[in-house]
Structure 1
Amino acid sequence: MQENILGYEKESKLLRKFAIPSIISMVVSSLYNIVDQIFIGKGVGYLGNAATNVAFPLVTICMAICLMIGIGTASRFSLNIGAKKYDKAKEVAGNAIVLTLLAGLLYFVIVQAFLPYFLKAFGATDTIMEYAMIYTRITTFGIPFLMACNVSSNLIRADGSPKYSMMCMVIGAIINTILDPIFIFIFHMGVAGAAWATIIGQIISAIVAVAYLFHFKNIKLERKDIRLSKENTLNCCAIGMSSGINQLAILLVQITLNNSLTYYGQYSIYGADIPLAACGIVMKVNSILLAFIIGISQGMQPIAGFNYGAKKYDRVRKILLLSLGVNFVISMIGWSLFQFKTDLVLSIFGSQDGLYFDFANQFMKIFLAMCCLNGFQIISSGFFSSIGKPIKGMILSLTRQVLFLIPLLLVLGYFYGIEGIMYSAPISDFISFIVSVIFLYKETRNLKQMHETTMDFH
């Protein structure tokens, strides 16, 4: 009834249709790493968890490439379908297939060639390096499949099949969850078992996702469409750049954070390894909340892009405001768990050293103290990309991670050590929230004026 009064009924149904499968897909994607952390924590210990933490930036780089290609392609695809330019939509989809294949193979070769240097740069200590090398040598083979699945999933959602996109991710996660305990506890393969379980799940997910690309609803993809185009590549990457930069910003934060924790940790009672392992757990747990927020953002983007292309500006504004409202409710639930059920959340990852739990408890409560505000920056960045304004999206992507958090990590870490590092995140979250609100306020006013102008014209 309330939705009818506000005129948001249609937008609410559309958001549920696209966002719920997208949220499930993102949560499932996060669970790949969470499941590994849980079983490694119980089967190997916190050193194994620390190893997956220093390996995680490689996944972040992979996801940056996936999002740049996937979000950019999906946005261009939606805009062209909304404008009824079906031939152009076919070219965009075909270009994405070739671009993803080339990017996946190139990244795989680079990582395999320089892996020890990457891990050292990501904060691996001598104690952790052996575990990290074993785990990452194996998971790197899954990179091309991970890229294929993620880019295809974005296209599948843009084509109006969000449930199929969700299924692609769920299948891989189920396989990973089944194989993890078998390989770790029955075959005693340790971190290598977790790595093999992960890539087997990724391979099967990729096969299911790629199979859809020749059965689109809105277009019929032909062999002549599957070619690399400079124009389509530049256009799609420009639109997806803000999402990709957001991931690269996360990478810079991970590197800065990992190295700061090991450096200042060695001068504390916790040592170098405990802060690194605890940080990995907290960041992976937070990735579940971020998965919900990114899922809402991704569910919103094809709706906003289609309506913007069709010049239905009032519906664009409504879907943005609705997405922000849903995001805030979910973010508050996550924040409450992190602040008031910290011990319960951490206990999922097994019994560890007392100092480890003491630091992890503090780190989660302080570092995530303002996580309820993060969604405004993520959704606003994705929104500007979806309506063809990548520069604004890119600026918002840079605010929290690069412009605010990294300088705060360095400055507060220098003056206050480990405690300064923990407090840098909530300060950065609050400042980036203010910037996002300013950007969104101006754009919603602009959309309202464009809607009134369109109505007057008709």
Structure 2
Amino acid sequence: MSRQNRDELGEKPVSKLLIKLAIPASLAMMINGLYNVVDTIFIGRGVGNLAIGGLTIAFPIQMLIMGFAQMVGIGAASLVSRSLGAKDIEKADRVTGNAYFAIFALSLLITTFGLLFIDPLLYTFGATDTIIPYARDYVRIVLMGSIFFSFAMMSNNLIRAEGNAKVAMVSMMIGAVLNIALDPIFIFVFDLGIQGAALATVVAQFISFLYVLRYMYSGKSALKIHPHHLIPDIKIIREIFAIGFSAFARSSTSSIFAIVVNNTLRVFGGDIAIVIFGIVNRVIAFLFMPIIGVVQAMQPIAGYNYGAKKFDRVKEVVKYAVLASTALALIGWLLGQTLPKYIIQAFTDDQYTINEGARVFRIVIALIPVLGVQFVGATLFQAIGKAAPALFLSLLRQFILLTPLILILPHLYNLELYGVWLAFPIADFLAVIIVYLLMKFQMNLITKKAERQNQIEMEQTNQVDMKDELVFK
């Protein structure tokens, strides 16, 4: 791969390049999201509604683990893309080695802290006395296997940064397909209940971890990691964290958001409201997966070409990414608005949950077609190394807008539980306006850089032509 894929990032037509990288990334993300959905279906059918409530409480803890992995992976991927674009191969290798060190240290801290304070964590995330036994059984096992998930997710970002999206896709597909296959075996055949679902997840993540590790040391990767690259470099780690912190903020604020929404639901709706939100949230997360695949494909293209000063290509990939992500969000919206009962019915036979879940689903996804712009905006700033705006955009929807709305709306005009659901489309509407304005400003800056770069290239060409003409004379 190495040189060919690096050259493609800077030379191949942007539309074809985005399609090439986005299809495997989107497929991988969809399959990865599908395992979360199937996991919930098996648990709902095999254990019951309260077990889905347990997953709802556990999900933000998993998001927090993913946030640390994404922080290291996306931060390192941005540095690697720009280093490869600038032809600084040694720096790309040092960044990768430091990313390995960072993810190991963080995983060890997360697992230790999580196991020591598991019950207080679960109650903080909104668990009720009837739900906490299910959440505890699931989270304990997931924490013990978190290092495999974190390593594989972080490495997949680096693999995409070097232009090899297919390997990242296969890695995610291995984990997701194995998880789906093992779920019914552990839940029904071995009668392990929700612990079986957690065990299936950890085993699948371990196999995915082995696949990624084998690839990184097979010689096929453009990144060559030697022992001295693993020695921590504070400057590199600080830069990885600074750039990737926006991705961590997105996941960690999702956890803070979960604390707010789960506890609000516990007050205004009880166990059943938590169960409904768990189902709806899993389905929405699945609908977002192909969009995430598009922006994951966009990142190395934008980062590489920004580092190579090919600003016209940066503008082009942003345009195509916005169009693709919006189209995918619109498809998800159409499915959710036309088939909500059938979707909820896959998880449970309880008629009240089905009817109320369908109503809630329609409200919550009302404006998701506009969210493609927000995903692209946050990823653009990550790709070009603008940590502050990337962080702000990552915090915008869930933390800055949605969380306060969920706290306020239930108390206005006796909206109560309906206020929680109404907060989602309102936050989506406000978020897309803000993101659009920031993206427009940044794209104007990139346009000016592109014009300056084109002028410099024209002047250099004219100087060469003049020299050739003098030599000829």
Q: TM-score, normalised by structure 2?
A: 0.92
Alignment check: 8 A CA contact 1:156 1:212 kept? no
Q: Distance in 1 between matches of 2:264 and 2:146?
A: 28
Q: Distance in 1 between matches of 2:395 and 2:402?
A: 10
Residue 104, structure 1, aligned to residue 107, structure 2: yes
Alignment check: 8 A CA contact 1:55 1:119 kept? yes
The alpha carbon displacement at 1:216 in A equals 4.9
- Letter of the 1:226 counterpart: L
Alignment check: 8 A CA contact 2:348 2:354 kept? no
- Letter of the 1:230 counterpart: I
Residue 439, structure 1, aligned to residue 443, structure 2: no
- Letter of the 1:248 counterpart: S
The alpha carbon displacement at 1:446 in A equals 1.6
The alpha carbon displacement at 1:9 in A equals 8.1
Question: Are residues 70 and 216 of structure 1, via their aligned partners in 2, closer, same or farther at CA, if it must alter by over 3 Å?
Answer: farther
The Cα offsets for residues 108-159 of structure 1, whole Å up to 9 and x where unpaired, read as 1111000101110111111111111111111211211110010011111112
Secondary structure (helix, strand or coil) at the match of 1:437 reads: helix
Q: Distance in 1 between matches of 2:393 and 2:281?
A: 21
- Letter of the 2:177 counterpart: I
Q: Distance in 1 between matches of 2:254 and 2:246?
A: 12
The alpha carbon displacement at 1:354 in A equals 2.0
Aligned to 1:23: 26
Secondary structure (helix, strand or coil) at the match of 1:131 reads: helix
The alpha carbon displacement at 1:172 in A equals 1.4
Q: What is the 5 A alignment of 1:89-238?
A: 89-214=92-217, 215-238=219-242
> After the TM superposition, which of the residue ranges 88-97 and 27-36 deviates more from structure 2?
27-36
The alpha carbon displacement at 1:373 in A equals 1.3
Secondary structure (helix, strand or coil) at the match of 1:281 reads: helix
Residue 430, structure 1, aligned to residue 429, structure 2: yes
Aligned to 2:41: 38
Aligned to 1:345: 343
Secondary structure (helix, strand or coil) at the match of 2:117 reads: helix
Q: Which runs of 4+ in 1 moved over 3 A?
A: none
Aligned to 2:255: 251
Q: Distance in 2 between matches of 1:14 and 1:103?
A: 34
Aligned to 2:373: 376
Secondary structure (helix, strand or coil) at the match of 1:314 reads: helix
The alpha carbon displacement at 1:55 in A equals 0.7
Q: Distance in 1 between matches of 2:20 and 2:231?
A: 31
Q: Distance in 1 between matches of 2:233 and 2:360?
A: 47
The number of equivalent residue pairs is: 444
**1:289 maps to which of 287, 295, 303:** 287
**1:317 maps to which of 311, 315, 318:** 315
The Cα offsets for residues 303-329 of structure 1, whole Å up to 9 and x where unpaired, read as 000000000000000000100000010
- Letter of the 2:144 counterpart: F
Q: Distance in 2 between matches of 1:408 and 1:216?
A: 49
- Superposition CA RMSD, Å: 1.3
Q: Distance in 1 between matches of 2:286 and 2:335?
A: 12
Aligned to 2:274: 276
Q: Distance in 2 between matches of 1:280 and 1:105?
A: 28
The alpha carbon displacement at 1:24 in A equals 2.2
Q: Which sections of structure 1, spanning at least 5 residues, go unmatched?
A: 1-7, 266-271
- Letter of the 1:171 counterpart: I
Secondary structure (helix, strand or coil) at the match of 1:126 reads: coil
Q: Distance in 1 between matches of 2:70 and 2:12?
A: 30
The Cα offsets for residues 67-99 of structure 1, whole Å up to 9 and x where unpaired, read as 110000011001000000111111000001111
Q: TM-score, normalised by structure 1?
A: 0.95
Aligned to 1:330: 328
Q: Distance in 2 between matches of 1:41 and 1:219?
A: 43
The Cα offsets for residues 199-225 of structure 1, whole Å up to 9 and x where unpaired, read as 100110111112222235334221211
Aligned to 1:3: none
Q: Distance in 1 between matches of 2:21 and 2:107?
A: 27
Secondary structure (helix, strand or coil) at the match of 2:433 reads: helix
**1:413 maps to which of 410, 415, 426:** 410
Alignment check: 8 A CA contact 1:80 1:86 kept? yes
- Letter of the 1:82 counterpart: G
Alignment check: 8 A CA contact 2:326 2:371 kept? no
Q: Distance in 2 between matches of 1:350 and 1:46?
A: 7
Alignment check: 8 A CA contact 1:26 1:292 kept? yes
Residue 398, structure 1, aligned to residue 395, structure 2: yes
Alignment check: 8 A CA contact 2:21 2:297 kept? yes
The Cα offsets for residues 195-252 of structure 1, whole Å up to 9 and x where unpaired, read as 1111100110111112222235334221211221101101111111111111112112
Q: Distance in 2 between matches of 1:350 and 1:9?
A: 48
Secondary structure (helix, strand or coil) at the match of 1:160 reads: coil
Q: Which sections of structure 2, spanning at least 5 residues, go unmatched?
A: 1-10, 458-473
Q: Distance in 2 between matches of 1:341 and 1:73?
A: 40
- Letter of the 2:30 counterpart: V
- Letter of the 1:283 counterpart: N
- Letter of the 1:233 counterpart: I
> After the TM superposition, which of the residue ranges 62-71 and 216-225 deviates more from structure 2?
216-225
Q: Distance in 2 between matches of 1:320 and 1:283?
A: 28
Structure exhibiting the larger radius of gyration computed from Cα positions:
2
Aligned to 1:58: 61
Aligned to 1:4: none
Alignment check: 8 A CA contact 1:239 1:388 kept? yes
Q: Distance in 1 between matches of 2:31 and 2:259?
A: 24
> After the TM superposition, which of the residue ranges 26-35 and 169-178 deviates more from structure 2?
26-35
Alignment check: 8 A CA contact 1:28 1:170 kept? yes
- Letter of the 2:234 counterpart: K
The Cα offsets for residues 243-282 of structure 1, whole Å up to 9 and x where unpaired, read as 11111121121111111111111xxxxxx11110010010
Q: Distance in 1 between matches of 2:180 and 2:78?
A: 32
